[in-house]
Chain A
Amino acid sequence: MLFGIEWDTSSDLAFAISILPILLRGMIVTIQATFLGFFVALVLGLIFAALKAAPLKIISWPAGVLTEFIRDTPLLIQLFFLYYVLPEYGLVLPAFLTGALALGLQYSAYTAEVYRAGIEAIAKGQHEAARALNFTSLRTFTHVVLPQAVPRIIPAMGNYLVSIMKDVPVLSVVTVLEMLNVAQIVGDRTFNYLIPLSMVGGLYMIMTLVASGGVRWLDQTLPKRGLSLK
């Protein structure tokens, strides 16, 4: 029994059907962690991208090294670091939040790169054109660069959303009850790992297919030449 739901071990099929609602509970946590982690990655990444683009070397260089460091070290270790080290400094967070934070931190290094590439691709020529039109820098950024960068950025970000989803099972090590952890507990208690773990695989296939489909749909729907200004 898990989450108050009993399983039925009379046959493989009955077992699979009976644990499906349990796994779906885990899936909800997986999805929540994915979106929270993604949100953190989007925000942190934007901050890193801005710092890396700073005109002062004393800001841009450490920001570059830090993102490289984050990108080159395992999510698992970053997660343990946050989970065990933050409380030593008085910051005690629920495991779920720590996990989402770790996901966001790891992927901020990747999203920072997406922001940079997306903006840089457009900035050069457009900046000059905007300067000729005598726009201010801020106006150039909000009215010229961003509307064109966003459609380029979204598909790449979407792919990282899918990657984050596939990394959520790592959070099981700090007791987050996401889908894999739930399946593992069912396995531990029934000595049947094959069915729950295979089901998790199948459910993951469905989730990634749906998510990738959504990303592709966005990519095709978004105007290639930029969003229109009202």
Chain B
Amino acid sequence: MHWTEYLNPLMQGAWLTVQLTLYSTILGAVLAFAAGIGKTSHNRIVKAIAVTYIEVFRGTSLLVQLFWLYFALPILGQTVGLDLRLPPVVAGVLALALNIGAYGAEVVRGAIQAVSKDQYEAAKALNFTRRQTLWSVALPQAIPEMMPSFGNLAVQNLKDTALVSLISLGDLAFRAEQLRNFTQDSTTIYTMVLFMYFGMALVVTALMKTLERYVGRWRSARG
């Protein structure tokens, strides 16, 4: 087979990879903010939930998490009488998001705590509530600081999507393995796939850089 014949199936896989990356990064960001803010909460229960989530998902392996959600959770569901069988795509997005969200949460927490004490004092002097201080003072300053780390995490997440091929989702890695089985042309296929992932990573990096400029545009105002 000529290498151009691999393009079509690989592109199909790449499209699923893009979708998985997009959904799990967005869901992961939501989780990251929820847990990162939760960890700074004064409410002990909220804080305990956030800390537990972060520690469990940072302390174990993504592939273990993915397999647990896909293979073990349904059995847990059986024993309590619930149908917890997840379609592969749901298990995949969920595992990726939960994992990247736990790492992102530490980024969010760190950036919030790095906002200077002066800013919190100014907010207090204006009688802002804790919530108003968080949303209008701390987060808008913290978010631009988070962006470089979020950029790295988004690329990490793109790479991690390859693991969902192991629960038989037809992403780029899965298509590559299928083609290899069929043609035995490992060198060509995997070289192409590596370059495709590299290209997607460059796009993700560029998008995150654009987003970084957007959320920090107040910093570059001139005049």
Contacts and interface: CB of A to CB of B under 8 A. Distances in A.
Q: In the complex, are there CB atoms of A and B closer than 8 Å?
A: yes
Interface stretch (B111-119, B186-194, B215-223): B186-194
A192 interface: yes
A125 B38 CA distance: 42
A170 interface: yes
A180 B198 CA distance: 28
Interface stretch (B69-77, B121-129, B139-147): B69-77
A88 B187 contact: yes
Contacts of B166: 173
A100 interface: no
Contact of B61 (A74, A85, A168, A184): A168
Nearest to A187: B71
Contacts, number: 111
Given A81-B190, A169-B63, A208-B60, A76 B71 contact: no
Given A73-B159, A194-B76, A197-B68, A167 B61 contact: yes
Interface residues of A, number: 36
A interface majority secondary structure: helix
B172 to A, nearest CB: 8
B11 to A, nearest CB: 16
Most chain B CB within 10 A, of A192, A193, A198, is at A193
B31 interface: no
Nearest to B197: A73
A8 B64 CA distance: 23
Q: Nearest 6 CB-CB pairs, A to B?
A: A72-B201, A84-B186, A74-B162, A193-B71, A169-B63, A194-B75
10 contacts: A72-B202, A77-B162, A78-B194, A80-B173, A80-B190, A84-B190, A85-B186, A85-B190, A192-B75, A198-B72
